Amino acid sequence: MAPRARPRIVFLDIDGTYADRGVVPPGHVRAVAAARAAGNRVLLCTGRPRSMLTRHILAAGFDGMVASAGGYVEVGGEVLRDQRFPRDLAERVITVLDAHDAAYVLEAPEALYGRPDVRRRLGELLGGHLRDPDTAADGQSALLEALRVPARLEECSFAKVTYVGAASPWRVVADALGEGLDLLPSSITGLGETAGEIQLAGVHKALGIQTVLDHLGADREDVVAFGDGPNDLEMLEYAGTSVAIAGADPRLLALADHVAAGPAAEGLASAFAELGLV
C-alpha cells in the first residue's frame, strides 16, 4: 500500500502488542523509528502508569503517551491530563481490596504504592509474568522498583489500581466496588479470575486519545490504534483505523479493520508497512 500524504497518529498498546511480557522486539523499535521518520506521530497507549515505563520500552522514542488507561496524557513532554481518584472512591477501593485479601498496587505517574507485604506477595504471585530487560532479570522488577510503601496508604493519590491473588473472582470484587468505578480482567495474561485492574468509570484509552487530538488539532480519522486486550476496546472503536493482534479478545477481532501478528513475530513491522506508515 502506498503511503498516504496526510500524516497519521499511531497509538500502541504495550503488553501483548508492542512488547511481550515487557520485552520489545527489535523489529518493533525499527518500525516506530521508521514511522516517525516518515512524518507520522507514534504514541504509547497503555494501562501501565508512567512510573512503569522502563528505559527498554521507551528506547524507540515516542511523541507522547496515554498511560493509566487514559487517566494520564503527555505529548512532547507536556502533561495534558493527570486524573486521580477522588478521596471517597480511593478509600472504597482500598477497603474492598483489603476485604478480599488482594495484593495490590495503587498506580500514579510518579510511583506505585502498596502495603508492607505487597513486595513479597507480588513476587510469589507474578513469578515470570513480566520481564525487565533493563536489569536482565526475570520477574516483575520494573514494578517492584517503582513501588513505595508509605506510612499511610490511604493518603496516597493515584490514577488506577492493579491487583492479583484476590480471595474472590473479579466479578465479585467488581460488585463490591459499586458505582463510580470500572473493573476489567488483568491485562497480564495467565493470572485468571483473581486479578484485575480498577479505574474510574468513564475513563478509558479513547478519552486519552481525544485529549491528544484536541491538543494537536487532529481528527479521529487520522488515528491508527493497535491493541489486544479488554482495555483496548474503546480505543479500537474510536480509531479511524483499528488493528487487533492475532489471538486478541474476540470483541476486538470482531471490530478491527486489520489483524496483525503478535510481538513474537514482530507483527507491528509488517502491519506498519501494509498500512503505509513507513
- The better pLDDT of the pair 70, 187 is held by 70
Separation CA 214–CA 199 (nearest Å): 23
pLDDT of residue 220 exceeding 50: yes
Separation CA 182–CA 238 (nearest Å): 19
Separation CA 184–CA 231 (nearest Å): 7
Separation CA 53–CA 109 (nearest Å): 10
pLDDT of residue 18 exceeding 70: yes
User: Euclidean distance between the first and final Cα of the chain, in Å?
Assistant: 10
Average pLDDT over residues 258-268: 97
pLDDT digits (tens, 9 = 90+) for 106-160: 999 999 999 999 988 888 887 655 555 544 333 356 667 789 999 999 999 999 9
Fold of the domain spanning 87-200: 3.30.1240
List of residues 6+ apart from 7 with CB closer than 8 A: 38, 39, 40, 41, 222
Q: Which three cell numbers stand for residue 241?
A: 483505523
What pLDDT is recorded for position 145? 77
Q: Where in the chain is the domain with CATH 3.40.50.1000?
A: 9-82+203-274
Q: Do residues 263 and 15 touch, judged by C-beta distance below 8 A?
A: no
Separation CA 33–CA 25 (nearest Å): 13
Q: Where in the chain is the domain with CATH 3.30.1240.10?
A: 87-200
DSSP letter for 4, please.
P
User: Kind of pairing, strands 181-185 and 196-200?
Assistant: antiparallel
Average pLDDT over residues 225-243: 96
What pLDDT is recorded for position 139? 36
pLDDT of residue 3 exceeding 50: no
Select from 222, 251, 227, 262 the least CA-distant residue to 239.
222
pLDDT of residue 1 exceeding 50: no
Q: Which CATH class is domain 9-82+203-274?
A: alpha beta
DSSP letter for 187, please.
S
Separation CA 257–CA 150 (nearest Å): 45
